[in-house]
Each structure stands twice: as structure tokens, then as C-alpha cells.
Chains A and B, each alone.
Chain A
Amino acid sequence: MRAWYKNLDWMTILVWALLVCAGLTAIYSATHGPAREFLLLSVQRNFNRQLMWFGISAVLMIVIILTPARVIFRLSPLVYVITVGLLVAALVFGREINGAKSWLYIGPFGMQVSEIAKVGTVLLAARMLSTNAAREGKWQYLLFAGATVLLPAVLIVLQNDAGTALVFLALIPVLLFWSGAVPLSWMSLLVAPLVVGYLYIVNPLMAGFFALVFSVGTLFVMRSKVFGGLAGLFSFGTLVMAYIALDKVLQPHQQGRIRAFADPEKYRLTEGFHVIQAKAAIGSGGFFGKGFTNGTQTQLAYIPEQSTDFIFCVIGEEFGFIGSIVLLTLFGMLLIRLATLGTAAGFAFPRLFAAGVTGIFLVHVIVNVGMTVGLMPVIGIPLPLISYGGSALLANTAMIAIALNLHARRDEFAIYTG
């Protein structure tokens, strides 16, 4: 048995630190370059505050890693209850920022509770799914785990932050995939809702066509009526859900963003503005970029929210293709490394926890980078570890730290397996 600290994965810590530093660099450029004079005072301070959050996160990481794994395991329901409690509190007492009521203030200290809720949700869901009962395919447990994820998602929708809620919903298929409760072949049916949903945004007709081809194709390839029927249910169900969600549930400004995604030039001065400017920034960055604090789009304030949701534009414009690829590579390393660490011990809880964390990060990266390069509609969620935001940095660091802890202290689980 090796001492836990010898198992600690320094590589992940290094990648984490590099990503946060890349974020700090971009935030510095966006807030201390020539653009500074057009920014609100509160935005100008973003760099210094993020630097402070970096320090606090490092401390938090150390504290978490020093905590015994079983404490984390046992505390997970409590953490969940606290975070859900915070979500409810934010709904009641919260302050509305950018249209979403997801901020809770204690004095001058504000936290975005929907970010913090991710930690508790992943912890509890992983714990639920790692029970033998769940593993044996008891539906009650699966449903219970699903409810664990849905509850915060619903609260966050009520806070009017559909983007973040979407991230929670994405946890369900990811966790199902890793739990082993559902056969892999069935998981492949999940491709349908993903593709249909995406296509519906671009062009509903194409989505319908794909749904038809997918259902009929599955029927013939699998030679199973049940399978084909499920494929049809999934794909056409998604079609109906997408229609309801996009045309009935979403608010006009969100619908506008979806429309602008399909045809940015048509909404050049309104909803399409962000996307067009973001793409111009990244595209004009070229291979090597325009150089630190030299991006015209960034420094002349053409990119909105450029230290938060659109931070990838700063990197794309000022550090070019090289910088963007380095950043994506770091993310790839982080995700695959975390997933690998989760599976290393052969226990369900670390694996499912790592699955939840990597699933969340992956969705963030797809959506965030996707929207800046025009592959996704504008959904306001940050780029993990890069975008400015103390709560998000703390929550993301905590999740990485917990995953590292569960990996490093995997031997402590041996007690349970006894």
C-alpha cells in the first residue's frame, strides 16, 4: 500500500494550473489592455479578483486533497443538501445579474450558487449510482439518481439560467454511460437526441429528415423492432421536445439567439452581433495571433463579455491558431486524464465522480468554444478554469481536487470492499 500522496497525480495539477494561468492571461489582456478605458470599473477589477480566487482555489485544493476520501464520500449527501439549499435561497433572496437569479450575496461577498451546486450534485449522483442496488439495475435507484440531477436543474431553470441547467441535464446520459446500468448498445441511441437537437436549431427540416433516416436505419441494421421503435421514439421525441423547448419555453431573447445562430448576418446588429464579432476576432487572429493585448476586436471592445463567456475570443485573436490548439489540447489532457484516474482504482464512486466532472467540463468546452466559432448558438456558460468567475473557479477546482483525492486515496476504499 503506497502512501496516498505518492499516488497524487501531479500532471493533472499542472494542467489545472496552466489552464488557470491561460485564463488569467486572457483576462489580463481583456481588462488591462487598451480596452480597459471602455470597461466598467467592476470589470476592470476582474483580473485582480481572479488572481485572488486562484490563490483561494489553490488553498481549497490542498484542503480537499488532505481530507480523507471516506469523509468526502460520507459528506456528499450533506454537501448536496447544502447546495440545493443555496439554490433555493438564491431563488428567494438572490440578486438578478444578467437576467438570471443565480447569485446569492452575503454582505459584499457574492457567489453564483448554480456553479457550486455542480459539486454537490455530482458527488451525490455518483454515490447513488455506485451502490450495488443501482449497479444491479434497480430502477428505483436509477430514477433516484436521475432526480438528484433533475432537482437542481429545475431550480436553475427557475432562476432563469437555461444554459447552466442544460449542463446538469447533460450529466444524466454521461452518468448512465459510465454507471454500466445500461448496455452500451442502448447508449448508442443517445446519439439521436444529440444530433436531432443540434440539427433542429440549424434547420428543423434537416432534423426531421435525420430522425426518419436514423429510426428506419436502426430498424434495418439492428433487425429489432424494439430497437427501431426506441430509435424512433428518441429521435422524434427529441423533435417534439425541441419544438416545445425552443418555441414555447425559451424567452424571446433566447429564441433570438437561436435564430441568430442559424443566420447571424440577418441579425447583424442585434442577436447576431456577438457571434459575428467573435468569429471575426478568432478568424483574424490567424496562425500566430495578433499578440498579447494587440487584438483589435478585443481591445476595441467589439466582443461583449470578453472576460467571461467570450474569453476564448481573446485567446483566438491574440494567440492565434497555435494558442487555441494549445488550450484545447490542455483541455483534452485534463478530461482524459481525469477519466483515466477515475477508472484506475476499479471502484464505482471515483469513476462516476470523474465521469460527472469530465462530463460537465466537456459540455462547457463544446458549448462555450462552439458558440464563439459559430458551431453552437450563444448559450451563456463559461469556459471552465479560463473564464472570469470566482464561484466557477472554486467549484471546478473543488471537483478536480475531489477527483484527485479519490484517485490518490483509492486504497481507503479498500476498507469498504473489505
Chain B
Amino acid sequence: MSYKPAVSKEDTRIRLRIFSGVVLFILVTLGVRLAQMQIIDREQYTVQAEGNALEEKLIRPARGYVLDRNGALLVDNETTLSVTVSPRYFDDEDIPEVAELAGLPESVVRRRYDEISARSRYQTDVLLTDVSFDAFARLQEAQYRLRGIGFEEGQQRRYHGEARMSHALGYVREISADQLAEMEEEGYRMGDMVGITGIEREYESVLRGRVGRKYVLVNVHGMEVQPYEDGVYDVEAESGFELHLTIDAKVQALAESLFVNKRGGAVMMDVRDGAIISMVSAPDYDLAEWRGRLSQEFVDYVYRNPERPLFVRATQSYQPPGSTWKPFMAIVGLQEGIITEDTQLYCGGGYMLGGRLFRCHGGAHGSINVVRAIQVSCNTFFFRLMNDTINGKRMDLDTWGEWAHRFGFGTLAPIDFPEQDAGLIPDSAYYNRLFPSGWGPGYTVNLGIGQGNMGVTPLQLARYSAVVANGGTLVTPHLVMEQVDPATGEVREPVFRRQRELPISPENIAIVRRGMELVVEAGTARRAQIPASGDFPEILVAGKTGTSENPRGPDHAVFIAYAPADNPQVAVGVLVENAGFGSTTAAPIASLMIEQYFRGETTRPGVISAVRAHSSARERGDG
């Protein structure tokens, strides 16, 4: 066998050329493709590669703590475990397994995941908040096969101390989809906690702090590998400000305990600046229950209970003030020159108007002056002040309404608290609407004794009481004393609206105050007295009881007070629904709160148990 060249040299050369041509064609094709990718379309691929590798991580700052006026810790945070998900890595066929490991219904996890993935496939979001340690351990064990599942620490509010302060503090919940749509620009994201009511809501931006941002490179499994560009674009998280409240937790706790089994509200404030020392609303609820998935029991209690625990009676429940209105009437009468300190009006046990007798309680008081009228709570005196021409002058509805508004009634107080009602101060337009066929003095005369078509809140009562106590200044109520930056110790005092001086002469205030002192000393509110005890000297209390007539059930007990009577520092407004006379429950509650505030303790266990024994009767028509 011999081996010769198979093809001619010429032929071979052609084939070599063709082959080389094919090689070059292929390499050039690949080269052109590379040029297209690496030079022309580079930007597009770079964006893609960076989108892959670069992830913005939001770092949640610690929510600011809340302390009372004495520095007692009310709210801080505890660390919880959250499960996160990166939709771009996560396979939704893993949802049943995640749900099972977490011990949650599949539908819950799925709905949540759908929300997250609909928002952004590239953003890692919190899938489950506050998972139990067991669930966390199970999920972590399975993490290697659950691609896209991660973990991070979350936080949960933790409450301290005896005082619940449900309404004043308010509760915090995970941000809802609707809220998120509104607040996303502020850096909120799923799984974030936001204040829903109370202080937590009002001071959300202060408590929240500044969200930190960290840019990291993540690997194909979504694991953080290293900071991007050595972290030059990162923003540190800054903890929220601490809020130092004006609330005295001990007074608050006592007041709450006195309101057990009752419906109503009480507000105690510093008469000099409107700092709220206590704000109670009953019934209340346990803030710690607002956590994770709410128990059915709690949902039923909070949302379905006819007593409406979420309703803030201290600032939202308005009722006729009853006789606590009389000092106001006296001030208006004196200030408008309708009466003087010496003006005597006759009480024959009632007031006849349009053939109807408006009764006075306690029989006929005879001819009495304004101080006495306050002391004995003479209805006739104030009916006449409201309705009669005295000294050639009379009070008309508009003057009455104007003064009511000056005292802060019928308007929202400029308070740093979100839930509030303006109450009701009627004017002629109101009556025209209510009685289109016409109305007369018989319809409005009741307003003179704080009954009828009007309503005031406990907050307004306290503020009004403070006006009397401080000699005519309408204070700006507030709950926060100062905001402290936990990192630097920097203190920021919130700026509130300036308090207003009302056009009331000191003499006239003094007259009314004398009447209110006598109410406690020798009138209807003797139960509000705080006698000397041990080393504690007597605390002189001035006040006025009221009974708010209630057509739907037992009357509401109302009481306003301030103390010490000779040098007023605090003012209180109390409303106890369906509890009868103001003197029975409302006055002792105010008295005990005042005592607790000044003495740091209470010395009258008998009074406490008497108040506790009392409960709000059911309203007719209540379920």
C-alpha cells in the first residue's frame, strides 16, 4: 500500500483558503457580536449586572422610647425575628412549605407574597413579621432549599409599668398596603411598624427616626457579600427621638384603676402650661395585644364590644356638662356686666318659662348671689342669668356661644393628640336647623345650667377648669414635654400654639373661684376634700360637680376641679358615664388624682374602694 498526496497541491491550497476563510468568518462574527455587547450595548448589560449584584438594604432605626414626666420608661422595643423574601430568587411553589414551617395558613403567606412581588421583584421585603423562635429555627434549617428566603431582626413595642395608657400612647401596627402606597416615598416598606393612634401616630415621624440605607453586593443566592464601593453611598440609620411625656405614670395608673368597670374619661393638666398629667379613657385595652396576628378574642373585644374600647372618651366623648357649667355662666355674667358679685336673684325652687316649671334641686334657695349660687348649684339663678333681663342687660345665645368658644368649647384643642372631637356649642343656626318651625327661649334656657343641646369633652372641661384656676389663660394642652435624641442627648422642645389670655378680670375670676372653693368646702363636692394625713398638710381643692342629664339612661357624673385652691397648679375634668350624681364618683376620682399627684401616694383607701365599687350602669339600648 502506498500513500500519495490525495489531492493536488493547488487543490489543497484552495481548501486551506476556504478553511481559513471559514475560521475567520466565524471568529469575526463572534468578534462583532462581542463588540455589539461590550461596546454598543454595554450600558444595558451593566445596568443588568448591577441590578443583579447591587441591592439597597433599608435599615430600620430603633423606634424612639417613651418615658413619663419623671423619666419612668413606658415604652421601648424588643427584638423580633422577621422572615424576608426576595421575589426574584423565590419560587412561589415553596409557599406551602414556608407556610407550614411558619405555622401559618398558606393563604396568609400567599397573599402577603403576592403583595410583595407585585410591588417589586428586586426589593427584598418582609414576608413574615415577629415569627416565633421555633418557626424561625425550622425555617432557618430549611433555608438552603428555600431560595430567596432570608431573615432579619425586626422590632416590636414593649410596654412597661402599671399604667396602660392605651389611648394616650396609642398602638403600633405593621403598615398596611394602603398606608404604604401613601408613605413609601418616606422610606416605609412592608413590615414596617407605624403608629396608628395616639402619641404613636402624632409623633410617628419623630419616633421613627431616620431610615438607614446600605448598598451591598449580593451573590446569586441573595446573600450579602460586601459593601458596594466601600459604603460611600450608605446612610446610617438614626434612632427615633425619645419622647418624654407630661404624663405622670403613677397618677395615670391610679386613675385607670379607679375607672375599672366604668365608662368615661378624665384629663388632668398643669394649669400653667397645659401639660397633661393624666389622660384616662375607659374602657381601655392592652396595647401589648396589638401584636402579630390578633387573637380572635381581642378582635371581638376591640371592634365588636358595644362599649367601644377604641373610642377615646377623654377627648372624643362629649356630653352636656351639667352644673359644672355654672362657673362659666358666672364668669360670662360678671364679665358682660349682667350681674355683679352682689346681684341677688331669687330662687323659689324653680323657674317658670312658657308654662313649664324648670325645677331647682334642693328646694327654694331664696335670694342668693353668684358665689352662693355656685356653692349650692342653684339652677334658678343660672336659668335667670341665661334667660332674663337683669340690670337692663341680658345674655343672648350668640354672646353665650362666643364665650364658650373662647373657653375652648365647640372647637378642637390645638393638642398633640390625633383623636379628638370638638363637642357641641349650639348657635341660632343650629337651632334653626333643628327646629325649622321655630324655637324660643324655652329651648335654650337649659344651656344656662349645662344641659340640653350641648356637649363638652373631659379634655375641654379640664382646660376650662384651668382657665378658672390660672386666672384667665386658655392653655394649650399637650402630652409631650420634650424630645431627646438618644444618640446625642440633644433636647428638642416641641413648639405648641401660644396660650391665649381671655378677657376676664381677676376680680371676676376670684368671685367664681370663691364659689368653687365653697363647693368642696361646704357644698356638693365635699367628697373631693383632701384632708391632712400624717405629715401631709391638707390640700385645698376647688371644684364643681355636675350631672349630665341623659335621656337614654342613667345620668352621667361630671366634675371639674383645680388644686391647690389658693395656688392652683393642676386642673381636672372628669366624666363618668351613667354614674349618677357628679359628687358620688367623679369628684372622688378627681380628688384622688390630685392627691396622688401632690403627695405621690393616696391616703384614703376607703374612698378608693368606694369609687371602685361603683360601676357605670348600662345604657338603654346597649346590646
Q: What is the interface of chain A, defined by CB distance below 8 A to chain B? A: 34-35, 38, 129-132, 134-135, 177-180, 184, 269, 276-277, 279-287, 296-297, 299-302, 316, 320-321, 324-325, 328-329, 331-332, 335-336, 339-340, 343, 346-349, 351, 355, 358, 362, 365-366, 369-370, 373, 375, 413, 416-418
Contact = CB atoms under 8 A, between A and B. Distances in A.
B295 to A, nearest CB: 39
22 contacts: A34-B226, A130-B6, A177-B18, A180-B6, A276-B48, A280-B52, A283-B37, A284-B49, A287-B39, A296-B217, A302-B52, A321-B39, A328-B31, A328-B34, A336-B24, A339-B23, A343-B13, A346-B5, A365-B26, A370-B30, A373-B34, A375-B33
Contact of B33 (A297, A331, A355, A373): A373
A362 B23 contact: yes
B46 A284 contact: yes
B24 A332 contact: yes
Nearest to A328: B27
B2 interface: yes
A285 B1 contact: no
B52 A283 contact: no
Contact of A34 (B1, B35, B225): B225
Interface in B1-30: 1-7, 9, 11-16, 18-20, 22-24, 26-27, 29-30
A316 B46 CA distance: 13
Residue with the greatest number of chain B CB neighbours at <10 A, chosen from A300, A321, A370, A417: A300
Contacts of A325: 31, 34
A324 B38 CA distance: 10
User: What are the 3 closest A-B residue pairs judged by CB atoms, nearest first?
Assistant: A283-B45, A180-B7, A284-B49
B19 A316 contact: no
Contacts of B20: 336, 339
Nearest to A331: B27
Contacts of A286: 38-39, 42, 46
Nearest to A273: B220
A345 to B, nearest CB: 9
Contacts of B223: 38
B53 interface: yes
B33 A348 contact: no
A413 B45 contact: no
A132 B88 CA distance: 63
Given A300-B53, A366-B26, A348 B3 contact: yes
Given A283-B44, A302-B220, A332-B24, A320 B52 contact: no
B15 A177 contact: yes
A296 B49 CA distance: 7
Contacts of B88: 269
B49 A297 contact: yes
Interface in B197-226: 217-221, 223, 225-226
Contact of B15 (A129, A132, A178, A418): A178
Contacts of B30: 328, 365-366, 369-370, 373, 375
B336 interface: no
Given A132-B4, A339-B16, A296 B53 contact: yes
A35 B49 CA distance: 15
Given A302-B53, A332-B24, 18 more contacts: A38-B219, A135-B6, A180-B7, A279-B45, A283-B44, A286-B39, A287-B38, A296-B50, A300-B217, A300-B219, A316-B34, A324-B34, A336-B24, A339-B19, A340-B16, A346-B9, A365-B26, A418-B2
B41 interface: yes
B91 interface: yes
Contacts, number: 171
A202 to B, nearest CB: 14
A180 B13 contact: no
Contacts of B34: 282, 316, 321, 324-325, 328, 373
Contact of A132 (B1, B31, B42, B219): B1
A206 B20 CA distance: 29
A302 B39 CA distance: 21
Contacts of B9: 346
Contacts of B219: 35, 38, 300-302
Contacts of A34: 225-226
Contacts of B49: 280-281, 283-284, 296-297, 302
A343 B12 contact: yes
Contact of B37 (A132, A277, A365, A373): A373
A301 B11 contact: no
Contacts of B41: 283
B81 to A, nearest CB: 25
A294 B6 CA distance: 52
A177 B50 CA distance: 47
Contacts of B46: 283-284, 286
A297 B54 CA distance: 11
Nearest to B30: A369
Contacts of A321: 34-35, 38-39
A335 B48 contact: no
Nearest to B11: A180
A279 B42 CA distance: 10
A194 to B, nearest CB: 11
Contacts of B26: 362, 365-366
A411 B191 CA distance: 81
Given A283-B38, A283-B42, A321-B38, A332 B23 contact: yes
A282 B22 CA distance: 24
Nearest to B88: A269
A30 B39 CA distance: 23
A269 to B, nearest CB: 7
Contacts of A336: 19-20, 23-24
Contacts of A340: 16
Nearest to A297: B49
Contact of B45 (A134, A280, A339): A280
Nearest to A322: B38
Contact of A38 (B2, B18, B39, B221): B221
Contacts of B44: 283
B4 A417 contact: yes
Contacts of B18: 177, 184
B147 to A, nearest CB: 9
Given A331-B27, A418-B2, A282 B48 contact: no
Residue with the greatest number of chain A CB neighbours at <10 A, chosen from B3, B6, B223: B6
A141 to B, nearest CB: 12
Nearest to B48: A280
Nearest to A302: B220
A269 B91 contact: yes
A343 B3 contact: no
B261 to A, nearest CB: 60
B12 A320 contact: no
B220 A343 contact: no
A284 B45 contact: yes
Nearest to A37: B225
A355 B20 CA distance: 11
A347 B573 CA distance: 116
Nearest to B51: A280
Contact of A284 (B11, B48, B217): B48
Nearest to B7: A180
A258 B494 CA distance: 67
A346 B12 contact: yes
A296 B220 CA distance: 10
Contacts of B39: 286-287, 321
A283 B3 CA distance: 51
Nearest to B225: A300
A303 B88 CA distance: 16
A29 B20 CA distance: 33
A109 to B, nearest CB: 31
Contacts of B3: 130-132, 347-349, 413, 416-417
A296 B52 contact: yes
A297 B14 contact: no
A410 to B, nearest CB: 12
A300 B220 contact: yes
Contacts of A346: 5, 9, 12
